[in-house]
Amino acid sequence: MIPVLILGALALWVDWGRMYSIARQADPAWLGVAFLINAVTILLQGVRWRMLLASDGGNWPWGRILRLHVKATFFDIFTPGRMGSDAVRLAAAAPEKRHHVAASLVAMRLQGLAAILLTLMAALLLTQSQKLASALGSWGAWALWLLAVAGLSGGVWFLLRMLRMAERWSEPEGWRGRIAEHGARFGDALRDVGRNRRVLLQSGLVALLFVVIACGVYWAAGRGFGVPLTWSDCLLGVPAIMIAIVLPITVHGRGFAELTALTLWSGPAAAPEAILLTCLGVYAIQLSQSALGGLGWTPGKSMSA
């Protein structure tokens, strides 16, 4: 309901004539660049998921996992919080591997959130530290850096703590029957993922790379619609938009994503209509690529060999 109200308010507020004029003057070359960059982000997410799956030492064929990942993105088109692809990947898993797949998806969500928050904090530090340092003085600058380091450390601690809490919640004490069995098996799978520090580190770096490259999608799309976004703008705005996209009360973040972009990017050099078109253009790119993945969807073999 809230996203509908936001979109309705934006529809009443926007100048449709100006929006149509900006859309007609869009540069297809830059939009094509945004399309290609977004395809890279889909591939990176598939690579990261496969890395987390392999934390159990099993045989997870790269080609089969990446194909399933691309096809599963189709189901994110119409499900809140992009939950559709997770459900499809669970359904495609062999029964004996389903708990491990669920654990990998939980770890992937937590890891992705941590990467988004770390990127946002780093961007705030890099873009605002000079202004704050001049206001606070040299001692204030050192305090700011220490606070940033503490915040980044806290983000890593939060991720590890959430994994540990999930382990405890899945322990069988006090559970009965099938619930206890599934909880214990899920806990074992989550421990396999959490104990493999090398995989967590490598996939975490891929998650950070994914966020940075996702910023490039909006940067290129903005160029296509005449929005002069800098990398600082993207590093501040895109992580916030990505958080809006995974909210479970909206489909693909519609409403919240546009409102976030307008709040952070509006200015004399960027017309609100052009910012809205940038968000909608990125959404159209994501929809088209998800739809292409859905065209190849057929129930097939289980994920593991």
First to last CA, the chain: 44
Give the C-alpha separation, 86 to 89, whole Å: 5
50 within some domain: yes
Residue 164 confidence (pLDDT)? 60
For residue 102, is pLDDT > 60?
yes
Cα 211 to Cα 118: distance, rounded to the nearest angstrom: 10
What does the pLDDT read at residue 36?
A: 97
- Beta-bridged to residue 270, according to DSSP, are 267
The answer to whether position 14 is within a domain reads: no
- Contact present, 187 and 170 (Cβ < 8 Å): yes
261 within a domain of the structure (yes/no): yes
Mean pLDDT of 261-282: 89
pLDDT band at 150 (very low <50, low <70, confident <90, very high): low
3 within some domain? no
**pLDDT classification of 78: cutoffs 50, 70, 90:** confident
pTM, entire model: 0.80
Q: What is the pLDDT of residue 212?
A: 94
Exposed, middle or buried: residue 108 (CB in 10 Å: 0-12, 13-18, 19+)? buried
Instruction: Read off the pLDDT of residues 20-68 as tens digits, 9 standing for 90 and up.
Output: 999 999 999 999 999 999 999 999 999 999 999 888 777 888 888 988 9
Tell me the pLDDT tens digit for each residue of 201-253.
899 899 999 999 999 999 999 999 999 999 888 998 999 899 888 877 778 77
Domain that holds residue 154: 25-295
Whether residue 166 is predicted with pLDDT greater than 90 in this model: the reply is no
User: Is 253 among the domain residues?
Assistant: yes
The one-letter amino acid at 187: G
pLDDT band at 186 (very low <50, low <70, confident <90, very high): low
Mean pLDDT of the chain: 79
Q: Is residue 237 part of a domain?
A: yes
* DSSP three-state, residue 267: strand
By the 10 Å C-beta count (0-12 exposed, 13-18 middle, 19+ buried), 72 is classed as buried
Instruction: Give the pLDDT of residue 177.
Output: 46
In a domain, 6, yes or no: no
Q: How far apart are CA 264 and CA 253, in angstroms?
A: 16
Question: Tokens at residue 146, please?
Answer: 């220490």
Distance CA 235, CA 212 (A): 7
**Residue 304 covered by a domain:** no
> Is the model more confident about 254 or about 280?
280
Q: The tokens of 241 are what?
A: 């938009």
Give me the pLDDT at residue 284, please. Answer: 94
**Residue 175: its pLDDT value, please?**
42
Number of domains in the chain: 1
- What would you report as the CA-atom Rg of the chain, rounded to the nearest whole angstrom? 21
